Amino acid sequence: MKLRLLISALTNYRNLGILIVLSVLSSSLESDMSYIAYVASFVVYLGFSLQSFTSKKFQDNFIHESKKKQIKNLDEMCKKLADETKAYTNAAYYKKLCSIMEDKTEIVQAYFKDEFNYLKERITEQTLNLVITYIKLLKNFCKRCRDLNLTDINPIIERINQNRRKLDFIKDQKVYEDLKKNIEMDEKILNRLKEEKQDLERIDTKLDYIKSTVSMFKHQIGMSMESEEMIEKIENTLNEATALESVLEKRHKKRNSAF
């Protein structure tokens, strides 16, 4: 951070302008004096740059400009992720994706349109992070829903029932144990699919909650009702959603690797 601040101070238009003007003036002097003048010009330039570097106003402006750039980058990331995700959505979830993207756009436009406001800047940044998490969760959700819908459990249930009926007539102990193992394996598959469905229900609920949260913030920002409580609510929602995404993804991979 400090290195970027120093570079910004050194490349500041005012400071570079002073260096250029003094260098031009130095070049007009006699050769004996020009070297000293060049050194003096550079020292003056460094002095003004150091003044900028330590100036609170310059630091605040630097942080603000960095945040603006970061918000633009987050906005572009939202658009890119949304374009990638829409291919996995059905009509209902595509509509939800479009809705949260519209809310996101209004929040970003309000940020760039209005005068600088620290709370609005912080809320805008964290809301964009929340939208990014929403889109990632939505993509994960839609892909896993598609996989689950392609799985027909009826043959598995029928196979379990048939094998259970066979157990009553089998006399050979080894065959009996093998058949029991087959039943247990099929039951594990059904349990895995049941857990997957429960995970998807949790994601779906969290998606609706995030979408409602972003919509609420859009209206509050539009009415200039920003507050520290809003920031805390966004950060809590973001942390919960990120943790949920991480846990469910690990669980999903673990279950898949087990079969």
| pLDDT, tens digit (0-9, with 9 covering 90-100), for 127-151 | 999 999 999 999 989 988 888 888 8
Quote the pLDDT of residue 96.
Answer: 95
Tokens 């020292």 identify what position?
43
Domain check: are 104 and 211 in the same one?
yes
Encode pLDDT of 145-204 as tens digits. Answer: 888 888 888 999 999 999 889 888 888 888 888 889 999 999 998 998 888 888 889 889
59 within a domain of the structure (yes/no): no
151 within a domain of the structure (yes/no): yes
Domain check: are 109 and 140 in the same one?
yes
Over residues 101-114, the mean pLDDT reads 90
Q: For the purposes of burial, counting CB atoms within 10 Å of the CB of 199, is it exposed (0-12), middle (13-18) or buried (19 or more)?
A: buried
Nearest 5°: the CA angle 139, 242, 129 is 80
146: helix, strand or coil: helix
Domain check: are 204 and 163 in the same one?
yes
Residue 19, pLDDT above cutoff 70? no
Over residues 68-73, the mean pLDDT reads 92
Encode pLDDT of 211-238 as tens digits. Answer: 999 998 888 887 777 788 888 888 888 8
pTM over 0.85: no
Q: What's the full length of the chain, in residues?
A: 259
Residue 68, pLDDT above cutoff 70? yes
Domain check: are 50 and 178 in the same one?
no
Residues 6+ apart with CB under 8 A from 52: 8, 9, 12, 14, 15, 58
Domain check: are 143 and 251 in the same one?
yes
CA atoms within 13 A on the CB side of 247: 10
Residue 16, pLDDT above cutoff 80? no
Domain boundary among 32, 54, 76: 54
Domain count of the fold of the chain: 2
Domain check: are 102 and 192 in the same one?
yes
Any idea what DSSP says for residue 73?
H
Confidence grade of residue 85 (pLDDT, cut at 50, 70, 90): very high
Quote the pLDDT of residue 259.
Answer: 52
163 within a domain of the structure (yes/no): yes
Residue ranges making up the domain that contains 252: 67-257
244 within a domain of the structure (yes/no): yes
Instruction: Classify each residue of 159-183 as buried b or exposed e, where b means 16 or more C-beta atoms within 10 Å of its C-beta.
Output: ebeebeeeeeeeeeeeeeeebeeeb
Domain check: are 165 and 96 in the same one?
yes
CA distance linking residue 238 with residue 118, whole number of Å = 19
Domain check: are 79 and 27 in the same one?
no
Domain check: are 15 and 94 in the same one?
no
CA distance linking residue 248 with residue 254, whole number of Å = 10
Confidence grade of residue 2 (pLDDT, cut at 50, 70, 90): low
60 within a domain of the structure (yes/no): no
Domain check: are 149 and 25 in the same one?
no
62 within a domain of the structure (yes/no): no
Domain check: are 50 and 74 in the same one?
no
46 within a domain of the structure (yes/no): yes
Residue 144: name the closest of 248, 40, 19 by CA: 248
Domain check: are 30 and 137 in the same one?
no
Residue 30, pLDDT above cutoff 60? no
